[in-house]
Structure 1
Amino acid sequence: MKKLIKVNPADNVIVALTDLVQGDRVEFEGNTVILATDVKAKHKISEHDLNIGDSIFMYGVLVGKATQFIQKGEVLTTLNVRHQSEKVTHKTGTLPWTAPNISKWEDKTFMGYHREDGQVGTANVWLFFPLVFCENKNIEKLKEVFENELLPKKQDDYQMLLRSLMGNDEVEAPKPTDGRPELNNIEVKFITHAGGCGGIRQDSEVLAKLLAGYVNNPNVAGATVLSLGCQNLQIDIFKKVLKDINPNFNKEILIYEQQQMGTVDHMLRTIIKDSYSAILKANAIERKPAPLSKLVVGLECGGSDGFSGISANPALGVVSDIMVALGGKTILAEFPELCGVEQELMNRCVDEEKANKFLSLMKAFEKSVVDAGSGFDMNPSPGNIKDGLITDAMKSAGASKKGGAAPISDVLDYAEYASKPGLNLLNTPGNDAECTTGLVGSGATVVLFTTGLGTPMGNPIAPVVKISSNTHLAQKMSDIIDVDAGDVISGTKTIAEVGENIIDYIIEVASGRTTTKADLLQQDDFIPWKRGVSL
């Protein structure tokens, strides 16, 4: 196994692939590197002596400045390096792209749920949600009722553990299911949130777009929507946004307004009867073959480490480029983790309008962060830093590899729905749950989520596939990892091979033949991004 790697020939830092100690002599690219300090795997060492103020390059881009003299072979830390990125003002050119060979994938299909508007889902979900947080309690009651009756009963190991500790080993027998219709083609999911009123009107409008995006997502067969009546996010606002997203929308939507219906008992009884009838009809929809171009793939990372940008993220780049070449859609999110690579991304935009929109959204986002007393340079978490990502630009340069090299066909603000084939950039925060929530609201039917440290989360309506950057994580947290990209680090597989393995896995998940670990753990996270203040 190699001990060191340089990501780009233009870099002046080298990445340790294994733990090294001071004094170790490592042969690297025809030279002998003598370690000036101990260095843990995933961390970076300087290839040359660096003076104060010298630029530090990784992935071929500026990722930091030296704050003190750094000896050749010395480990880079937050004590001797600070965040620095290139200043960008406009699109300066157009980057060429050679599409990958897709002959292996052109005739492949997945078994999906075809909607009348031409979209194809990887799941078939009946979704319950409120327009305002005041209805969360009613959603939770409906969740209890439907899950108790519709979901398969099984004993909870943690509940059994507590019972044994309490000296009560009696187990409630499963309820009989004889005579009940089998709901094999439909899932019933529930989401709640803290928005819809009490904040600025713009937050309610964005929430309306997000919820409309969920209903329009082809993974959803239909929805039951609860409204109080007096909130900012009015029913007519939601309906208008839904029509704006899809003028030909024709799924069944059941909407109930509590202040018009009277008692909670009357409303819940009506909702249960109507929704059950609609769920039975949605259950009649069956999977049929669809080309891979009908997939919409969200690209995200969370709990990243120093190997994420070397193994898992570039493997997603392979997936993205193949999907784009097939005519599908991919969506790259997390704008704070694109800081430092703006010029490359602008030059990949198909036109100047898209490039300017991207830069405008980036600047507005960064200004809001600075106005709040912070900055993008504070994006790396303690876990990121501990595992080798010491500046935001360094983290971003690796994170952007998830988007491959294809041209950027569109740039979307949060809750805008993806309509153009190709690679789309979506303005979201780096927060894992807010990002995933946004990706699915913009139409992602499956989300690829890379992680180096392990992140336990999912989504109510779209499968979230977890890809580990290193084999140690895949083995340690096997209950949350679906695909191991650590073979790239060990040298047993190439980035292209791991990327193709991920596509094979996506096909199985999208066809319902494989269930992601997040879905097995029922990790249904839904957290909208709130950008305004509470009033």
Structure 2
Amino acid sequence: MTNPSAGVLVLRDDDHVGVATRDLPAGTAVPLPGGTTLVVRHGIPRGHKVALRAVPTGGPVHKYGQSIGRATCDIAPGDHVHTHNLGMADDERTYEVGTARTTLPAPTQPRTFDGYRRADGRWGTRNYVGIVTSVNCSASTARLIADQFRGRVLEAYPHVDGVVALTHDTGCGLVPTSEGAQLTLRTLRGYADHPNIAALLVLGLGCEMLPPAAVLDGLDLPADKPVRVLSIQETGGIRRTVRAGVAAIEDMLPEVDALRREPAPVSELVLGLNCGGSDGYSGITANPALGRASDLLVAHGGTSVLAETPEVFGAEHLLLRRAVSRDVAQRLLDRIDWWKQYTAAGGGTLDNNPSPGNKAGGLTTILEKSLGAVAKAGTADLTAVYEYAERVTTRGLAFMDTPGYDPVSVTGLVAGGATVVVFTTGRGSVLGCKPTPSIKVATNTATYLRMTEDMDLNAGRIVDGTATLEQVGQEIFDLVVEVASGRQTVSEELDLGADEFVPWQLGAVT
């Protein structure tokens, strides 16, 4: 990678494009490696691509040493390369399984975090009372109950992180045995069983297709997690249910507050990897730095989980090379094939992504976005592939099939057991995800300075030349350990995360 202070970042010697590290007016002369000079032909915004060499119509355009699409017209050196001259190329990719497996360097010394030991052997990073709703009809009642514990009410319980109402838009009108209903149930059960939920109130209406009993059915909840179940109809309406719900939580609070943090190996952490509001810097700064942090956690024996299948499409061949078996590789390919059919049935394609905000930030095709997105997964071997909201039980780097839509994707990761989430953003996403803390990492300094009160860390220093990938990766890893030990993230300071509980909805509503 060349010196970014020159104005254009060249990522690979054979790339056709570089990335502008500042706004480049037309006529700007930019020095390139080898002593040559590139003259910018058109104004190019920061984070966007500039052509380093000529590409004929139909020719492949490379970035990161990989194809990000094909030229839709002749491209000359110095041209702005974006949606007006670069299109999708769904070329056949060569799939190799396990050819790039690696052994991560062993850590020089063990690391610990201060967490909550649960009776089932898992470790929590937070101590929440959760209200899990079986149906949308109980959502307002759940929020009314949770609202009674806002403000200074919990000051008498300093070891309780809060009472969170996990409400959603479904739970009825579904065929209970359908894929959509089962996916919703799996998500609700994942939150009910989450190690960051120390006590649980399950709340339903009483006549829904997915009743409260279904949420608990089959769960082997730890013996130290108190559970209460209420039905609005059986309890006598909303007002009586709110009073009963408040009383039930007040009864559980002393037991939750009595729990204390104790040292645990970082191998007990499950780290969710996600990105949103990406830009042209995402794949250069925050995502690869998060990949370094992910590798550090995996090297310590921990678990990292990549997600967002539509934002892996086009870069799946890189993950397959790191798959530990053909079965793992095939599971990933099967999910990508499912998405192709799913988007086609909806009248779209996987290249409907990137979003308008991504494009404004310099990303053009899903191939380009995906190549930057998979950088979050570092270099570790791919050990497992999970369905949405499926419980993650393996160690090492895993993948979970989720949409790219941020709250839906993160909801799946948390349902699968993620106890910390790191969320990278170039445009400035403001996601929280109770009961799991969300660490937000800005990809560029301009966004970080504009939204300092919403960001936890600035990875833009990598392009500024004031920090290296290795340094920022270590900083992210250290911050993960600190947050797992109780340090609040900015989203937690703002009390974000309840509204971002958004289970993926599939199937017909009857």
What TM-score results when the alignment is normalised by the length of structure 1? 0.90
Work out whether 1:133 is the aligned partner of 2:136.
yes
SS at match of 1:237: helix
Query: Equivalent residues in 2 for 1:355-394 (5 A)?
Result: 355-394=329-368
Residue 428 of structure 2 aligns with which residue?
Answer: 454
Q: Any residues of structure 2 matched to 1:37-116 within 5 Å, and which?
A: 37-88=42-93, 91-103=96-108, 106-116=109-119
Cα RMSD between the aligned structures?
1.8
Q: 1:412 to 1:9 in 2, by over 3 A?
A: farther
Q: Secondary structure at the match of 1:479?
A: helix
In the TM superposition, what is the alpha-carbon distance from 1:470 to its structure 2 partner?
0.8
Deviations 1:323-356 (CA, angstroms, capped at 9, x unpaired): 1111100011111111111111122111111111
| Cα deviations by residue, 1:275-320 (Å, 9 ceiling, x for unpaired) | 2111211110000011111111111111111111100000000011
CA distance in 2, matches of 1:28, 1:89: 32
Answering whether residue 174 of structure 2 is matched by residue 199 of structure 1, we say yes
Structure-2 residue corresponding to 1:234: 211
Cα 1:207–1:345 shift into 2, 3 Å: same
Distance in 2 between residues matched to 1:348 and 1:308, nearest whole Å: 22
Q: Quick one: which amino acid aligns to residue 320 of structure 1?
A: S
Q: What is aligned with 1:420?
A: 394
Output the CA distance in 2 between the equivalents of 1:223 and 1:262.
Answer: 21
SS at match of 2:78: coil
Structure 1 residues 93 and 499, CA gap change in structure 2 (3 angstroms) = closer
- The alpha carbon displacement at 1:83 in A equals 1.5
Is the 8 Å Cα contact of residues 90 and 356 (structure 1) preserved in structure 2? no
Change (3 A) 1:495 1:34: same
1:521 maps to what in 2? Answer: 494
Among 253, 261, 272, which residue is 1:298 paired with? 272
Residue pairs, 1:158-237, within 5 angstroms: 181-200=156-175, 201-237=178-214
CA contact (8 A) 1:193 1:527 kept: yes
CA deviations over 1:63-112 (Å, ceiling 9, x no partner):
10100011112110211111224435854442131413521xx3221111
Distance 1:265 1:475 in 2: 46
CA contact (8 A) 1:90 1:355 kept: no
Distance in 1 (alpha carbons) for counterparts of 2:363 and 2:189: 36
- Paired AA for residue 118 in structure 1: G
On the 8 A contact 1:66/1:81 being kept in 2, the answer is yes
1:208–1:241 Cα contact (<8 Å) kept? no
Counterpart in the other structure of 1:11: 15
Q: 1:475 to 1:207 in 2, by over 3 A?
A: same
The equivalent position to 1:142 in structure 2, one of 127, 142, 145, is: 145
C-alpha distance 257-458 of structure 1, shift in aligned 2 (>3 A) = same
Q: Which amino acid aligns with 2:493?
A: L
Equivalent-residue separation in structure 2 for 1:321 and 1:77 (angstroms):
32
8 Å contact kept, 1:91–1:346: yes
| CA shift in 2, pair 1:32/1:249, >3 Å | farther
Is the 1:21–1:35 Cα contact (8 Å) retained in structure 2? Answer: yes
Alignment of 1:111-122 (within 5 A): 111-122=114-125
Q: Does 1:338 align with 2:315?
A: no
Tell me the distance in 1 between the aligned counterparts of 2:218 and 2:41.
Answer: 59
CA distance in 1: counterparts of 2:97 and 2:386, whole angstroms: 21
* Structure 2 Cα separation of the partners of residues 250 and 195 of structure 1: 30
Amino acid at match of 2:188: L
Map 1:234-273; keep pairs closer than 5 Å: 234-243=211-220, 251-273=225-247
Relative distance call for 1:13 and 1:249 in structure 2 (3 A) is farther
Q: How does 1:319-330 map to 2 (within 5 A)?
A: 319-330=293-304
Distance 2:151 2:494 in 1: 17
Quote how far apart the aligned CAs of 1:235 are: 3.6
Structure 1 unaligned segments of length 5 or more: list them. 153-180
Distance (whole Å) between structure 2 residues aligned to residue 249 and residue 336 of structure 1: 39
Q: Call closer, same or farther: CA 1:29–1:249 in 2, change over 3 Å.
A: farther
Instruction: Give SS of 2:150's match.
Output: helix
Letter in 2 for 1:522: D
**Most deviating of 91-100 and 452-461:** 91-100
SS in structure 1 opposite 2:200?
strand
SS of equivalent residue, structure 1 residue 460: coil
**Secondary structure in structure 1 of the residue aligned to 2:388:** coil
Match of 2:509 in 1: 534
Once the two structures are TM-superposed, the CA of residue 374 in structure 1 deviates from its matched residue by 1.4
Q: Is the 8 A contact 2:277 2:427 kept in 1?
A: yes
Distance 2:157 2:271 in 1: 30
Q: Distance in 2 between the 1:287 and 1:189 partners? A: 20
TM-score using structure 2 length: 0.94
**C-alpha distance after superposition, 1:242-297 (max 9, x if no partner):** 34xx7x67622211233444444444433322221112111100000111111111
| CA shift for structure 1 position 34 | 2.1
CA distance in 1, matches of 2:501, 2:26: 46
User: What's the secondary structure of 1:389's corresponding residue?
Assistant: coil
- 1:170 maps to which residue? none
Partner amino acid, structure 2, of 1:528:
P
- Residue 379 of structure 2 is matched in structure 1 by 405
**Contact 2:389–2:415 (8 Å) recurs in 1:** yes
> Structure 2 stretches of 5 or more lacking a match?
none
Does structure 2 retain, via aligned residues, the 8 Å contact 1:216–1:249? Answer: no
